[in-house]
């Protein structure tokens, strides 16, 4: 029996989550969402995992909501719809706040909720042939649960356009909007993601997690004496930590730090 989601962890701590429903363009339903919540929570708890890749099988990354799920939702009461939407919102929040770095590897189409999945990842690399669409208004709906993450990724001005027009846009446009970081050929996609993973694995695991949290904590703060004090305390605590001491000493002694694995890719 085919597994709808594949979940693997390799020997160096790279977790790969693969949407595996190519026959329906990797569309998701409530069962898939519940399974993704479980997987993302497991990734967050597992200290051996250092980075997570979100990808898919088949031609397309994800078509958003599954048609059969939508048929069921059409008959739901208001309260049932609230519960259903809350499950999707929980999945997106869990992915967005995951303590480990996350990378979306995108090929083919990413429509509707799939754009939310991409926006929730820390980094996104896509094939140049990928297409994107915030398609909800075509169905008389709105991209509500994904909106905080998509607006954060592309900004209010462009969200005003694409939320209301439901235009299909290219990977080149997605990069200019800030939804993805790079657009490469399909042949280059695997290597580009591996290169980013390699860079991450060269860095202190605790420092990577702390750097991710730092962005979340600082981005909406006004520059103030209090913020300056908070950031000073953070760097001071990292400097005296076991990992910080190892990193500084390894640099000064011109040796490899204890966490760095050999041949993990990426430029020196």
Q: How do residues 207-224 score in pLDDT, each as one tens digit?
A: 999 999 999 999 988 999
Q: Predicted confidence band at 264 (pLDDT cuts at 50, 70, 90)? A: very low
CB neighbours of 249 closer than 8 A, spacing ≥ 6? Answer: none
For residues 229 and 160, give the distance between their C-alpha atoms in angstroms, rounded to a whole number. Answer: 37
Q: What is the pTM of this model?
A: 0.93
pLDDT band at 79 (very low <50, low <70, confident <90, very high): very high
State the pLDDT confidence band at 263, using cuts at 50, 70 and 90. Answer: low
Q: pLDDT tens across 144-182, in order? A: 999 999 999 999 999 999 999 999 999 999 999 999 999
Pairing of strands 102-106, 131-133: unpaired
Nearest Cα residue to 243 out of 215, 209, 195: 209
Tell me whether strands 168-170 and 131-133 are parallel, antiparallel or unpaired. antiparallel
């Amino acid at each position: 029996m085919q597994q709808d989601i594949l979940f693997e962890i390799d020997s160096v701590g790279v977790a790969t989550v693969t949407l595996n429903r190519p026959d329906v363009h990797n569309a998701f339903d409530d069962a898939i969402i519940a399974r993704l919540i479980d997987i993302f929570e497991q990734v967050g708890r597992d200290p051996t995992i250092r980075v997570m890749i979100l990808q898919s099988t088949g031609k397309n990354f994800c078509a958003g909501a599954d048609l059969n799920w939508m048929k069921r939702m059409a008959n739901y009461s208001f309260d049932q719809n609230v519960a259903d939407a809350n499950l999707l919102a929980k999945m997106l929040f869990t992915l967005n706040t995951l303590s480990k770095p996350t990378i979306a590897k995108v090929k083919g189409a990413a429509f509707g909720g799939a754009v939310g999945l991409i926006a929730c990842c820390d980094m996104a690399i896509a094939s140049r042939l990928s297409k994107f669409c915030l398609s909800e208004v075509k169905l008389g709906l709105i991209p509500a649960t994904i909106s905080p993450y998509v607006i954060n990724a592309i900004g209010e001005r462009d969200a005003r356009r694409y939320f209301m027009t439901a235009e299909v846009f290219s990977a080149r446009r997605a990069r200019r909007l800030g939804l993805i970081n790079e657009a490469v050929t399909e042949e280059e996609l695997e290597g580009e993601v591996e290169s980013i993973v390699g860079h991450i694995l060269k860095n202190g695991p605790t420092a990577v997690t702390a750097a991710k949290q730092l962005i979340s904590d600082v981005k909406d703060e006004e520059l103030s004496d209090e913020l300056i004090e908070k950031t000073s305390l953070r760097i001071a605590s990292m400097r005296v930590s076991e990992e910080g001491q190892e990193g500084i000493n390894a640099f000064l002694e011109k040796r490899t730090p204890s966490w760095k694995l050999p041949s993990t890719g990426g430029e020196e």
